[in-house]
Structure 1
């Protein structure tokens, strides 16, 4: 059965719109500040997994009753004034864990923005696969607060907003074939902030690098043209990201994220060469392969193949949909 897919965004006109602040979960909301509430609320739904981003211009009191059996993990994206959840004072990009069936109490003292993902606890081992401390469901059964690293937190926040923005603008990029990739990309941003607040874990052993790489390449061959996220590989082979990175560096001299990006670029090159101009667009193919920053994608592609993707397709121009300025994302992409 094909999982349901949803991309939705709307403007808020009144605090009542925040009752669905996290898609699929009801939240009781009371306005604290004076004035007319304005804001936006955006959702991505992939089966039972949802991702939401909300913004509002006035202080709020939020309460969630203990009737929801889903795990909610949230991140504070922006705050004009103090934000507190339970007894936790939140700083920018901090991560909050709301376990299933637990009442939640939050106070936003001014204009704020947040991101939140909601899913079944039994998905944890798959979505956080390879990171033993996060793939254990017991880790998420109690409320928690993870203080974000300054650099990692800012990067994760920007990437979450960009994913939501680009999928909102290019809804055809969220297809059954790419749904798992986008879901893992969202989870990775949250996980990066959590991992950065934990002590280093150097207990993982390194299996034979070439044997592991051979198994990974067989897995990728079976996936065909579907984009595969690095966390999916970690979960499939029960290896940490650190172990996988060491194996790829030993065999290819590249990290797994770079290797997977090159593989996706090669897939795009083949698709564009086999397509007729007018039958598809560069943007559509790029989105289907998990590239949501099209300017950066064009840079990667040109560096890889010595030509613009539009030249491969046989058309004369490719309008960039963002400014393509490269961000220093090595913290997230090659950890």
Structure 2
């Protein structure tokens, strides 16, 4: 089996290490950034950027005090967090604070810092983010998320966000070839969207009214029917919510009422079953277990093997080596 690839994707990974302010600005040319060094010292800048189609992921480090001014296009929604130990920064004239998410979503923005800067950012295509939020929550995106500001959030949610985004960045370093696979990029982007919503949720009122049991059951059946034909497309939870016509919360209630499992768990089981079908017909076909895992959106091969064995009581390699 050939891993599905998209040869037209822009560079999936870009990186730069430099002591030149101008080179940093040129690296961000499409983001309209300007850098000004404010404190004495030999500048060392380092930046990694990962392209996952409708979302970009980046981490940037600068070792001396500086100011960054940006005028990104209206088509983008960047959310970021500061990983530096201190909070001696100012963002859009606001003092920095601990346990905060930075929203660079309101057009022009600037940040200045006294000593050093180490941040991660998740940059969404605006339309894609709005559509996913509408699908997942069955409501419009909160207005306060579309404004450049510093917002306090739940410390645990922030810790989970920072850890999750850093883990995804490290995965792209260790498995750069996997980014040529559309399914891998889609799975990573879905993880980023989930992490982003969880860190943003404490900053807005997202309370909702559950749909009626009959509406929930109808939505669950629509999802199950859809997955019979389209599971290999790896639909995300927001996409399944759109198909069900339910918010994530109502869809979860519906699945627990009908199957006593969450939609996330059901989707994983469907993907594991799909992977098993591919492995069962792959005997003698020069197929790799890793090819099948990526095709079905399993990016961590060790975890895939463990989950597969727990469900089917044999390793995926055993299935592949058996003639059925």
The interval holding the TM-score normalised by the smaller chain is 0.7 to 0.9
Q: Do 1:11 and 1:38's aligned partners in 2 also have CA atoms closer than 8 Å?
A: no
SS for the counterpart of 1:69 is coil
Offset of residue 284 of structure 1: 3.4
Length, aligned pairs only: 311
Among 201, 208, 231, the residue aligned to 2:207? 201
Q: Do 1:76 and 1:90's aligned partners in 2 also have CA atoms closer than 8 Å?
A: no
Q: What TM-score, normalized by structure 1, do the two folds share?
A: 0.79
Q: Hey, what's the Cα distance between the residues in 1 that align with 2:262 and 2:221?
A: 15
Offset of residue 214 of structure 1: 1.0
Counterpart of 1:70 in structure 2 is 75
Instruction: Report which of the two structures shows the higher radius of gyration computed on alpha carbons.
Output: 2
* Structure 1 residues 19 and 282: CA distance shift in structure 2, 3 A: farther
Q: Hey, what's the Cα distance between the residues in 1 that align with 2:221 and 2:315?
A: 31
* Structure 1 residues 80 and 21: CA distance shift in structure 2, 3 A: farther
Q: Hey, what's the Cα distance between the residues in 1 that align with 2:310 and 2:28?
A: 40
Among 138, 151, 156, the residue aligned to 1:151? 156
Offset of residue 216 of structure 1: 0.5
Among 127, 140, 159, the residue aligned to 2:132? 127
SS for the counterpart of 1:50 is strand
Q: Hey, what's the Cα distance between the residues in 2 that align with 1:21 and 1:192?
A: 30
Q: Do 2:39 and 2:65's aligned partners in 1 also have CA atoms closer than 8 Å?
A: yes
SS for the counterpart of 1:28 is strand
Counterpart of 1:292 in structure 2 is 299
Structure with greater helix share of residues: 2
Counterpart of 1:325 in structure 2 is none
Residues 99-178 of structure 1 correspond to what in structure 2 (within 5 A)?
Answer: 99=105, 102-128=107-133, 129-132=135-138, 135-136=140-141, 138-174=143-179, 175-178=181-184
Offset of residue 28 of structure 1: 0.9
Counterpart of 2:309 in structure 1 is 302
Q: Hey, what's the Cα distance between the residues in 1 that align with 2:145 and 2:27?
A: 21
* Structure 1 residues 60 and 189: CA distance shift in structure 2, 3 A: farther
- Give unpaired runs (5+ residues) of structure 1: 316-335
Structure 1, 172-181 or 104-113: larger mean CA deviation? 172-181
Over aligned residue pairs, what C-alpha RMSD do you find? 3.0
Higher RCO (CA 8 Å, separation ≥ 6 residues): 2
Q: What TM-score, normalized by structure 2, do the two folds share?
A: 0.82
Offset of residue 24 of structure 1: 4.0
Among 261, 274, 277, the residue aligned to 1:270? 277
Residues 190-248 of structure 1: per-residue CA shift (max 9 Å, x gap): 11101133345142324523321110012223324122221221234442211111111
Residues 238-249 of structure 1 correspond to what in structure 2 (within 5 A)?
Answer: 238-249=245-256
* Structure 1 residues 56 and 275: CA distance shift in structure 2, 3 A: farther
Q: Do 1:23 and 1:52's aligned partners in 2 also have CA atoms closer than 8 Å?
A: no
Residues 127-161 of structure 1: per-residue CA shift (max 9 Å, x gap): 2122256x437454432433232222222222212
Counterpart of 1:328 in structure 2 is none
- Give unpaired runs (5+ residues) of structure 2: 1-5
